[in-house]
């Protein structure tokens, strides 16, 4: 952490001493970097735009992350912009780089603002960074608007679902709480929040039973496959025991027969398997 802060502070310090670039000089540096991979040109180009990084980073201070971290992430975006910039287009580098700087900082905030990770789609990003501002604008126009109507307006404005708006609003409204945080109980025992979380997972006994039953079924199936002839075995393996499962037409072409004949052979093989399984292992009926 201290190392990252030092890097961020050094970037800020370098920005204050870097000279501004004239348009022609900026273009020359960009050409030298893109066409010749001139590292000195890249250094001059990025150093001159660190003021831009700091300006963009300062707009995201309210999210509670260290300014040095925001500047460092903005510098990553600046380098990405330099790698992708086309100097032969009539666009200033600062104009092009601003989008990459902002995107890099926003990604960093989304990754670190909460212990609960949010979505990283364009809609989720827009929701995270614009929810409070739009909410304030809407409630200013209509102070009596209820939550349902407010979320509907916000979902239309941002282009996300009503549920996404409600979920994000709840996240932004309250602080993160650790699942290991203690909860007061009547018997004064050491109980944590995670102890009250319901689990949809099967019980350990059920897991063991499922594994054992699965192994038994697999063993019975492999034994029953021995009653099939070579062609029937190929059809069953290709059609029923393969992830991709060949079509009747594909198997017919491979075997040199019609797909209707493949279907007949498959049905006959399946009946032979069923008869053998129930004859050799009557208890299989209870596991189906």
Structure tokens at 168: 């994000």
| Count of domains for the chain | 3
The verdict on 62 and 161 lying in the same domain is no
Q: What is the pTM of this model?
A: 0.45
Other Cβ atoms less than 10 A from the Cβ of 41: the count is 19
**Cβ(179)–Cβ(193) under 8 Å?**
yes
- In the listed set 59, 82, 112, which residue is the last one of a domain according to the structure? 112
List pLDDT tens digits, range 4-19. 555 556 666 666 666 7
Map residue 192 onto helix, strand or coil. strand
Burial class (CB in 10 A: 0-12, 13-18, 19+), 75: buried
Query: What is the CATH classification number for the domain harbouring 230?
Result: 1.10.10.10
Full domain range(s) for residue 248: 204-287
The verdict on 106 and 140 lying in the same domain is no
- In the listed set 94, 112, 130, which residue is the last one of a domain according to the structure? 112
The verdict on 30 and 99 lying in the same domain is yes
List pLDDT tens digits, range 43-79. 889 888 998 999 999 888 877 788 888 888 899 999 9
Across the 288 residues of the chain, what is the mean pLDDT of every consecutive 10-residue run?
55 66 89 90 90 89 82 90 88 89 83 56 60 68 71 71 64 55 60 62 63 73 84 85 82 88 90 83 58
Structure tokens at 14: 């370098």
Q: What confidence score (pLDDT) does residue 12 get?
A: 62
The verdict on 215 and 120 lying in the same domain is no
**Beta-strand (E) ranges in 64-218?**
182-183, 191-192
Whats the size of the chain, residue-wise? 288
Q: What confidence score (pLDDT) does residue 79 get?
A: 92
Q: What is the DSSP string of 36-96?
A: H--HHHHHHHHHTTHHHHHHHHHTTGGG---HHHHHHHHHHHHHHHHHH--TTSS--HHHH
The verdict on 14 and 107 lying in the same domain is yes
The verdict on 68 and 15 lying in the same domain is yes
The verdict on 239 and 276 lying in the same domain is yes
The verdict on 103 and 126 lying in the same domain is no
**Cβ(31)–Cβ(89) under 8 Å?**
no
Q: What confidence score (pLDDT) does residue 32 get?
A: 92
The verdict on 21 and 81 lying in the same domain is yes
Query: What is the CATH classification number for the domain harbouring 51?
Result: 1.20.120.1810
The verdict on 96 and 157 lying in the same domain is no
Torsion over CA: 30, 36, 39, 40 (sign): negative
- In the listed set 148, 171, 197, which residue is the last one of a domain according to the structure? 197
The verdict on 66 and 124 lying in the same domain is no
Q: What confidence score (pLDDT) does residue 28 get?
A: 92
Structure tokens at 248: 């009747």
Q: What confidence score (pLDDT) does residue 116 get?
A: 46
The verdict on 78 and 167 lying in the same domain is no
**Beta-strand (E) ranges in the chain?**
182-183, 191-192
Tell me the Ramachandran region of residue 118: left when phi exceeds 0, alpha when psi lies from -120 to 50, beta otherwise.
Answer: beta
């Amino acid at each position: 952490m201290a190392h990252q802060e030092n890097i961020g502070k050094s970037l800020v310090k370098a920005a204050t001493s870097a000279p501004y670039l004239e348009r022609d000089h900026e273009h020359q540096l960009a050409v030298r970097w893109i066409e010749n991979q001139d590292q000195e040109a890249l250094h001059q180009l990025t150093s001159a735009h660190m003021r831009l990084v700091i300006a963009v980073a300062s707009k995201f201070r309210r999210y509670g992350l260290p300014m040095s971290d925001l500047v460092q992430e903005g510098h990553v975006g600046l380098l990405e912009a330099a790698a992708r910039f086309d100097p032969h287009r009539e666009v200033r580098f600062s104009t092009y780089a601003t989008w990459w700087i902002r995107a890099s900082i926003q990604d960093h905030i989304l990754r670190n603002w909460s212990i609960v990770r949010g979505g990283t789609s364009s809609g989720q990003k827009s929701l995270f960074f614009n929810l409070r501002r739009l909410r304030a604008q809407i409630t200013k126009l209509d102070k009596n608007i209820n939550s349902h109507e407010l979320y509907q307006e916000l979902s239309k404005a941002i282009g996300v679902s009503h549920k996404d708006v409600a979920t994000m609003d709840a996240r932004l409204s309250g602080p993160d709480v650790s699942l290991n945080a203690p909860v007061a109980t009547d018997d004064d025992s050491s109980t944590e929040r995670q102890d009250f979380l319901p689990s949809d997972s099967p019980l350990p006994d059920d897991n063991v039973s499922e594994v054992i039953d699965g192994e038994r079924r697999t063993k019975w199936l492999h034994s029953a496959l021995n009653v099939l002839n070579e062609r029937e075995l190929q059809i069953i393996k290709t059609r029923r025991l393969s992830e991709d499962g060949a079509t009747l037409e594909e198997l017919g072409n491979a075997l040199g027969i019609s797909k209707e004949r493949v279907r007949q052979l498959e049905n006959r093989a399946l009946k032979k398997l069923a008869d053998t399984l129930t004859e050799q292992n009557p208890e299989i009926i209870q596991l189906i």
